[in-house]
Amino acid sequence: MTAPLPAPAAPHPAPVASPSGGPAATAATAAEPPVVVGDDTTGRSRAGRTWRRLRWPLTVLAAVALLVLFLAVVRPATSAAPYAPDNPESGGAMAVAEVLGDQGVRVTHVTSVAEATAAAGPGDTLLITPNPSFFAEDQISALNRTGADLVLVQPDYSMLAGLTRGVVDSTYGEPAEPVEPQCDDPAARAAGAMRLRPNLYDSSDGSGEARPVLCWPDGNGAYAYARLDLADRSVTVVGDPTVIRNDSVLEDGNAALALWMLGQNEHLVWLVPDPMDTSTVADEPTPSDRGQLDALMPPGSAPVALVVVLAGVLLALWRVRRMGPLVVEDLPVLVRSAEATRGRARLYRAARARGHAAAGLRAAAADRIATRLGLARSSDANTVVDAVVTATDRPKQQVADLLYGPPPADDAALTELARRLDILESEVHRP
């Protein structure tokens, strides 16, 4: 029996429940909140705090700076560049440079063609160590114009052609047994029998005024050393860089040959080419280049640009200063409850577990249908199928296949099964 009669007017007003027991916002402020003036700091305390905050970083920075300074003072400046006069490793050439320095030769270490042309002049020696890259055409002509005696160690083809006026060319040869120089050159005679790579040959046509002196032949027309005397200077070429390398300078007559070649003049300019170097002569960019840039810009644009940059700096300072610190807040975790279900669905899909998926869909559909038809949850398959057949007038085999049939063969079949289960479910009504 139900209660059909309407309730009479409530004898007391319907209570309005509110968790705060009053209006939405409890206006009662418990106690008068404190009045805050200042942040309890003085200029002095702020300075002290800044100092305390910065002293350790500053100490560390100062220590690092001191250490760097100490190392710079105590340790001689060395480098790791190959054939550099300040490189004490096996690939360097510090040994030769030091001995030359002790013998009164002033060694100037340069790394660009511009520096080399600026430092070397007539009466100097200009050593060009092997170039990891290639010199440009104008760089070679700039080196030619210095008027200094040139010493080329393992030059490449273009350098050789440009700096020896094409009378010496390079070939390829392997060093065999030590051979006597077999030529009339004081340096070669001082060095004596040596085992050098013979990769130079005479390419002059014999008509020119200059013919190179070639030493240490290999018997096949290739030589290891060439010397070309021009009117105002000489060009010496050694195809084998072991002559000046630290690790091999003591072998055979390497030292004698190197000192003889490089020690002819008071001043030696030691050019270790840098692959990034594209300079030819000093004082770049030229004034004419800058004049072109100025010609393109309206007059007075540089100061205006400076004003704009300074205004931009002020704008950045305005925007960068935050209006007080951020207020931090602990946020609750953000894990969706459905993630477990989605994860399980992806596992089914990745494993192609269509049987599992179909079984789940079928069992759920059968469960809902059984509930709707008033069957017990423990009813067996036959009972359910019979009840569905009665409720829907479908063939028994079809219903049994749908609810308890074999697992679907592919994803399309699974989708189809899900759709047909839905239709079946929609046809089942309470008997």
Return the residue of 145, 290, 344, 396 that touches another protein, per CB under 8 A. Answer: 344
DSSP calls for 350-418: HTT-HHHHHHHHHHHHHHHHHHHTT--TT--HHHHHHHHHHHH---HHHHHHHHH-PPPSSHHHHHHHH
- Using the contact rule CB under 8 A, the part of the chain among 97-105, 126-134, 211-219, 338-346 near another protein is 338-346
The two three-digit tokens of residue 180, written as one number: 């006597």
- DSSP SS3 for 140: helix
Runs of H (alpha helix) within 230-285? 254-262
**Residues near 362 by beta carbon (within 8 Å), at least 6 away in sequence:** 402, 403, 404, 417, 421
Task: Name residue, tokens 């130079």.
Answer: 200
Asked if 11 is part of the footprint of another protein (rule: CB under 8 A), the reply reads yes
Return the residue of 10, 276, 293, 376 that touches another protein, per CB under 8 A. Answer: 10
Asked if 303 is part of the footprint of another protein (rule: CB under 8 A), the reply reads yes
Asked if 411 is part of the footprint of another protein (rule: CB under 8 A), the reply reads yes
- Separation between Cα atoms, residue 107 and residue 109, nearest integer Å: 6
What minimum distance in Å lies between the beta carbon of 387 and another protein? 19
For residue 215, which amino acid is it? C
Asked if 419 is part of the footprint of another protein (rule: CB under 8 A), the reply reads yes
Contact 373, 391 (CB under 8 A): yes
Return the residue of 63, 297, 345, 381 that touches another protein, per CB under 8 A. Answer: 345
Asked if 415 is part of the footprint of another protein (rule: CB under 8 A), the reply reads yes
- DSSP SS3 for 88: coil
- Separation between Cα atoms, residue 28 and residue 106, nearest integer Å: 92
Exposure of 239 in the CB half-sphere (CA atoms within 13 A): 25
What minimum distance in Å lies between the beta carbon of 50 and another protein? 13
- Using the contact rule CB under 8 A, the part of the chain among 75-83, 99-107, 187-195, 332-340 near another protein is 332-340
Total binding residues toward another protein, as defined by CB under 8 A: 87
What minimum distance in Å lies between the beta carbon of 13 and another protein? 11
For residue 207, which amino acid is it? S
| Residue 34 or 287 having the CB closest to another protein | 34
Please, which residues bridge with residue 151 across strands?
127, 236
The two three-digit tokens of residue 281, written as one number: 């002569």
Return the residue of 138, 289, 422, 427 that touches another protein, per CB under 8 A. Answer: 422
What minimum distance in Å lies between the beta carbon of 289 and another protein? 21
Asked if 406 is part of the footprint of another protein (rule: CB under 8 A), the reply reads no
Asked if 231 is part of the footprint of another protein (rule: CB under 8 A), the reply reads no
Return the residue of 206, 275, 285, 300 that touches another protein, per CB under 8 A. Answer: 300
Asked if 290 is part of the footprint of another protein (rule: CB under 8 A), the reply reads no
